[in-house]
Structures are given as C-alpha cells and as structure tokens.
Amino acid sequence: VVYEASAKSNAELSPADVYRLFEQTYINSSPVKLIGYREKTNGGSHVEAAVEKDQTEFNIEGSGNGVLDAFCNALRKELGIDFEIVYYTEHSLESGAGAQAITYVEISSGGKTFFGAGISSNIIKSSMRAVTSAVNNSIKSS
C-alpha cells in the first residue's frame, strides 16, 4: 500500500501520509460500521449489535464461545459472508487506565485473506471494529 502510493506520487511519503493510508486501508467503517453492542454471558456468550450498512442501521445477534466469536457469528449470519479469524493481536497505544488499544486481525474468506484494525479504549470494541474492517475489505474486493 505504501509502496504503491509512493510510486504513484513519485515522492517519499511523510509519517502523516503513511498513517492516513493505514487508516484508510485498515481502519475503515464502510460499508459496514459497528454502532454499538450488548453482551450477555452465561456459560457461553451472546451479542446483540447495532450495525450500519450502506447508511441503513439494523440489529444483529449471535452466540459463541466468547464475545468476539458471538459477534463474528452474527456478522456471518446477517451478511452471508463465510470467514474465519486466522490471526489476532492487540497492543496499547498509550499508557494509563484510559489508554486506547489497537487490535489487528487477519481473516480468511473465499480462499483469500483480508486485514483489518480497530481502535478503542474498550478491547472488545477494538476487536469488533477490527473484524468489521477486515470484513469491509473482503466486501470491497468482491
């Protein structure tokens, strides 16, 4: 991504340009955007999430062995996209109690891989945003 942008502009990119490219490519909320969610855990996990797709808001819900798995199951069911998380990592962007975290995911869908990232002070929300971004990248490639 960076190489292509640098070659296209025939110039070295600034750190701000590189970060902007990262945001546009991997932290994206289009066409699907997570609006909010509620979780219930009682042996397993259940998630009810409000999402927006193509400027239409609707609710999705799913169950799984954890909150992220439940959210993924809800996305699969509602969007009709089969995907699996094949890589997941996270780290803090700051220090302190209110620090924001960034989550990176790689998903596999239709024999291809897609990447996404999410940022939030809530690690579950950061993870859901990352999955949503990766799913958006898979939708955009179709």
CA atoms within 13 A on the CB side of 3: 0
Q: Please name the residue that has the structure tokens 């902007």.
A: 20
> What's the angle, vertex CA 123, arms to CA 28 and CA 37, rounded to 5?
70
Higher pLDDT, 15 or 61: 61
pLDDT in tens, 17-43: 888 888 888 897 799 999 999 999 888
The rounded distance, in Å, linking the Cα atoms of 90 and 28 is 17
Token code pair at residue 38: 């509620």
Predicted local distance difference test score (pLDDT) of residue 42: 83
- Dihedral through CA 116, CA 69, CA 61, CA 38, nearest 10? -80
pLDDT band at 12 (very low <50, low <70, confident <90, very high): confident
Contact (CB, 8 A) for 84 and 96: no
Q: Tell me, yes or no, if the pTM score tops 0.85.
A: yes
